Structure 1
Amino acid sequence: MRKVPEQFSWVDQRLVRQEYIRRCDARGLALYLLLLTFSDAQGLSYYSDERAAALLSLSATDVREARRQLIEADLIAYERPLYQALSLGGAS
């Protein structure tokens, strides 16, 4: 049986079922996965554009565009230096 590690996170299926996934390109989704993976219980995380770019093999410009997409898709809030993953709308 699988043992869930102490530092575990998951992706809400509504990301796909409610088609949030269509609102962003691969850069946006990569940044979203990074933010979800390292967010705390309130959905807060911090990554500088430079660190996120290095981890995701993107340019700083790509990270800014990814962030813009996620904000427009209502997936995150951003107030430098903090990101917050937002709750997805609708019933599960």
Structure 2
Amino acid sequence: MVAKQPICPDRIRRTPKRFSWLDHRLVSDHYIDRCTHAAAALYLFLVTVADARGMSYYSARTLAQRLAMDEHTSVRTRDELVDIGLIAYRNPLYQVLAIDAEPIRQTGTLQSVEQIFKHLGEGRQ
């Protein structure tokens, strides 16, 4: 095992009063692998600004400005995160969702091709 020593010991992170966090399952369950760069940037922004329940509200225009993308791209990127199951959106609210082991269902549909094939396989048994 590699012994880890801080490279900059005077800059070790501490939990600030206003704290946001990222679930490690974002990486270990491969959610991040399904995100474009724009979606990863939007997700990071939403996690950072969300309240304790994961809620926030920003207009597509404001998000586009803050993330240096056009408004159409910010909407498309939001929809990508909804499809992956990382956020929910109902104008004007965003909710960063808990990462669950179960397939994310929204409006009665499965959210990824992998989940659809898994679901179809279960139906054959």
Shorter-chain TM-score bucket reads: over 0.9
Query: For 1:77, which of 66, 71, 88 is the aligned residue?
Result: 88
- The structure whose RCO (Cα within 8 Å, separation 6+) is larger is 1
Report the counterpart of residue 61 of structure 1 in structure 2.
Answer: 72
Q: How does 1:19-38 map to 2 (within 5 A)?
A: 19-38=30-49
Please list every run of 5 or more consecutive structure 2 residues that lacks an aligned counterpart in the other structure. 1-11, 102-125
Structure 1 Cα separation of the partners of residues 66 and 79 of structure 2: 18
Stretch deviating more after TM superposition (35-44 or 2-11): 2-11
Structure 1 Cα separation of the partners of residues 16 and 39 of structure 2: 26
CA contact (8 A) 1:24 1:66 kept: no
Larger radius of gyration: 2
Q: Deviations over 1:25-82 (max 9, x none)?
A: 0111111111000001110011111111111001101101110110000000000000
Report the counterpart of residue 50 of structure 2 in structure 1.
Answer: 39
Please list every run of 5 or more consecutive structure 1 residues that lacks an aligned counterpart in the other structure. none
Structure 1 Cα separation of the partners of residues 31 and 22 of structure 2: 12
Q: Say whether residues 1:52 and 2:63 are aligned partners.
A: yes
C-alpha displacement at 1:23, in angstroms?
1.5
Structure 1 Cα separation of the partners of residues 92 and 80 of structure 2: 17
